[in-house]
Amino acid sequence: MTTRALALVVGAFLLVGCCLAAPLLVLTTVNDECALTPAVSTSSSQPNAGEWDAEQLANARTIVSVGAERRIPARGQIIALATAMQESGLHNIAGGDRDSIGLFQQRPSQGWGTPAQIRNPVYAAGKFYDKLATIRGWRTMPLTDAAQAVQGSAYPNAYAKWEDDATTLGQQLGAGPGSTPDCSTATAAMADPVARNPDGSWPEEPCSIRPDPTTGSGCLTPRTLHLVQQAKAAGFPKPRCYRVDDHGEHPKGRACDFMMTPGGEASGAPKARGDAMAAWAVANADRLGIKYVIWFRRIWTRSEGWYAYDNPVGNDDAYGWHTNHVHISVE
């Protein structure tokens, strides 16, 4: 086994290990590709070629997944991987040269986005692909030239040395258009389905379960109660569902918050547990009538999949950005 291959195996082992605190049933059935990407790294060190840790592999997976969702050919995904290897060592760096930020060291002052946007790996990868698509002939030009056309680096030939590693890692992660794992069709650890109308639509349900058993007040719809019961059976924490509010599904008895921490932002095992629950919810969306899921600055909907959450009504804290709880709303 080569050093690079061994490093990939070790990295994959670390990815599995970080999730051991999540429910065993979910971990043995839900692909880890369905989980979300890690928080911003404070490390600025670059690895030796081929030595990728769990965070780096997760960021690489995000780059490949975003490319696949956008139907970017494998060559484009490899160019993106090589660029991120050179710019950040596949770390989501909080800072860098001048005002550079993130995986691709993109600069707000050069129009790449706001600092918060660029720190989001999904957004950063998407902006890289947006620019790459405007480069005439990028599919046939040398990798380092294509990367340089996007980045405008002071070291235009530096990307070339990462081509072999990017190609190997891209192949390991299944680089190619449409290669993103379909979390909605995961078949194991499935929840018991709720009833549908003959035409496949969801029956209208009143908020008739009184009181809400998770809060002792208000009400839930039968479909929301079913979600609570199935989440409990899968080993996830008891949520809080109904609350008085002027917006959203909570006051309608159609949403629940599953806390991963008592209040602060999740990391380590609680973060892995939240990742596992978000993946479980998406995998069971059709069975449970799930409308959307919010977790760790991202939101999943049926029509768009996962994308950046802009926190339209929440506070600028762990609650508002949903970094301490998984929010699930049902139809």
For 247-275, write each residue's pLDDT tens digit.
899 999 999 999 999 999 998 878 888 88
Q: Is residue 104 part of a domain?
A: no
Beta bridge partners of 93: 41
Phi, psi of 294 (to 5 degrees): -125, 130
Among 159, 180, 201, the domain boundary falls at 180
- How many domains does the chain divide into? 2
pLDDT of residue 189: 55
Q: Is residue 6 part of a domain?
A: no
Over residues 56-65, mean pLDDT = 86
Single-letter residue type at 67:
G
- Verify that 283 and 173 share a domain, yes or no: no
Distance CA 175, CA 6 (A): 20
- The least confident of 43-52, 115-124, 313-322 is 43-52
Which residue range is the domain that position 148 belongs to? 32-90+122-180
pLDDT of residue 8: 42
User: If pLDDT is split at 50, 70 and 90, which confidence band does 324 have?
Assistant: very high
How far is the CA of 116 from the CAs of 198, 240, 314, in angstroms?
Answer: 45, 29, 16
Q: Is residue 75 part of a domain?
A: yes
More confident residue, 19 or 276: 276
Over residues 136-159, mean pLDDT = 90
b/e map 16-28, b = 16+ CB within 10 Å: eebbeebbeebbe
- Verify that 64 and 161 share a domain, yes or no: yes
pLDDT of residue 54: 76
- Verify that 172 and 206 share a domain, yes or no: no
Q: Is residue 95 part of a domain?
A: no
Q: Is residue 101 part of a domain?
A: no
pLDDT tens digit sequence for 166-213: 998 888 877 755 444 433 333 335 788 998 888 888 899 999 999 999
pLDDT of residue 40: 39
- Verify that 169 and 45 share a domain, yes or no: yes
Q: Is residue 142 part of a domain?
A: yes
- Verify that 201 and 239 share a domain, yes or no: yes
Phi, psi of 119 (to 5 degrees): -70, -15
- The least confident of 8-17, 191-200, 284-293 is 8-17
Mean pLDDT in the chain?
80
pLDDT of residue 26: 35
pLDDT of residue 176: 59
Is 70 exceeded by the pLDDT of residue 84?
A: yes
Q: What's CA 322's distance to the chain center, in Å?
A: 13
